[in-house]
């Protein structure tokens, strides 16, 4: 190969190598910020280095990786299942709480969140937000007795939600929902079970007493009805007998006696019986 051609090949090869190296080490790239996320631009150099006060909208964002950093925060609802912890009530009873928090990030305050914590959202959830939840339970529990926590569960959780809403909102987090499984101490659980069993037994006894009273009233009404029926029947028979006796005249008695006579001469004792038979008719 001629020297001029050889130089040309080396020159072209050098240019290609330089272009390839430049392509790999060049600082410009882009970030796709998906819907439901917010990206913030962080300047690494210069007088205005730090978190910009401008929230990057969703879409493709070009930036210089040597001088700029893009951090992405999700703004859709997050669900965090925390490890259980123990809180103490005013009367020193220990309750176990297993909280689950639903929240989302206030998109307008994303720069403030990063400026304050300088950590990914996952770390913020397990540190700041967990401590906020624990403090809310601890503060509210100190104003309740163990018995009132169980008997006023709705008011207890309402106070916690109000406190969480206030404290999370200050740092750019919007409270959505809190689900908490509260487990009382074993001794209180036994007391509650015994109390419930006592209430159930009392209600059962009251129902049985009401049923016995109702059955007695039915029996009484039935007996009174039967007695009234017998009385009416007796009165009717008495009235009928009176009417029969009033309708018997001497002539009618004689006629009846003749009809009843069997042809034998009456003896002592048969006449009264014959008269009695006549009066029954």
Q: What is the pLDDT of residue 6?
A: 62
User: Is residue 222 included in any domain, yes or no?
Assistant: no
Tell me, yes or no, whether 122 and 180 share the same domain: yes
Q: What is the pLDDT of residue 199?
A: 73
- CATH number of the domain where residue 114 is located: 3.30.479.30
Tell me, yes or no, whether 93 and 119 share the same domain: yes
User: Is residue 213 included in any domain, yes or no?
Assistant: no
User: What DSSP character marks residue 277?
Assistant: H
Q: Which of 169, 184, 199 marks a domain boundary?
A: 184
Q: Which of 52, 74, 96 marks a domain boundary?
A: 74
Tell me, yes or no, whether 122 and 47 share the same domain: no
Closest CA to 181 of 83, 104, 77, 89: 83
User: Is residue 151 included in any domain, yes or no?
Assistant: yes
Question: What domain count does the chain have?
Answer: 3
Tell me, yes or no, whether 48 and 128 share the same domain: no
Domain that holds residue 42: 3-74
Q: Give me the half-sphere count of Cα atoms (radius 13 Å) on the Cβ side of residue 248.
A: 18
Q: Which of 51, 74, 97 marks a domain boundary?
A: 74
User: Is residue 152 included in any domain, yes or no?
Assistant: yes
Q: What is the pLDDT of residue 32?
A: 84
Give this prediction's pTM.
Answer: 0.59
In tens digits, the chain (281 residues) has pLDDT values of 556 666 666 666 666 666 666 566 666 777 888 888 888 888 777 655 666 656 676 788 887 777 788 888 899 999 999 999 999 999 888 999 999 999 999 988 888 888 888 888 999 999 999 999 999 999 999 999 988 888 898 999 999 999 999 999 999 999 999 998 888 877 767 666 666 667 777 777 778 778 878 777 877 778 777 777 777 777 777 776 666 665 555 655 566 666 655 555 555 455 555 555 545 55
Q: What is the pLDDT of residue 24?
A: 65
Beta strands (DSSP E) in the chain are: 28-33, 37-43, 50-56, 59-64, 68-74, 78-81, 85-88, 94-105, 173-183
């Amino acid at each position: 190969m001629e020297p001029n051609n050889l130089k040309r090949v080396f020159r072209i090869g050098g240019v290609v190598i330089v272009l390839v190296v430049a392509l790999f080490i060049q600082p410009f790239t882009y970030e796709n910020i998906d819907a439901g996320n917010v990206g913030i631009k962080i300047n690494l150099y210069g007088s205005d280095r730090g978190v910009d006060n401008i929230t990057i909208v969703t879409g493709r964002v070009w930036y210089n990786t040597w001088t700029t950093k893009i951090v992405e925060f999700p703004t859709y609802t997050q669900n965090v299942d925390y490890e259980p912890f123990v809180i103490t009530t005013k009367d020193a009873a220990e309750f176990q709480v297993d909280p689950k928090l639903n929240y989302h990030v206030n998109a307008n305050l994303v720069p403030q969140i990063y400026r304050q914590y300088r950590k990914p959202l996952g770390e913020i959830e397990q540190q700041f937000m967990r401590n906020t939840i624990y403090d809310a339970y601890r503060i509210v529990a100190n104003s309740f007795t163990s018995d009132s926590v169980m008997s006023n569960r709705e008011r207890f959780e309402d106070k916690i939600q109000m406190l969480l809403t206030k404290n999370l909102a200050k740092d750019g987090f919007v409270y959505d929902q809190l689900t908490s499984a509260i487990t009382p101490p074993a001794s209180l659980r036994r007391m509650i079970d015994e109390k419930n069993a006592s209430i159930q037994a009392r209600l059962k006894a009251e129902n049985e007493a009401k049923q016995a009273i109702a059955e007695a009233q039915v029996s009484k009404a039935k007996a009174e009805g039967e007695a009234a029926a017998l009385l009416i029947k007796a009165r009717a028979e008495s009235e009928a007998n009176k009417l029969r006796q009033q309708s018997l005249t001497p002539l009618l008695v004689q006629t009846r006696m003749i009809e009843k006579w069997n042809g034998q001469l009456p003896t002592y004792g048969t006449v009264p019986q014959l008269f009695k038979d006549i009066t029954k008719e």
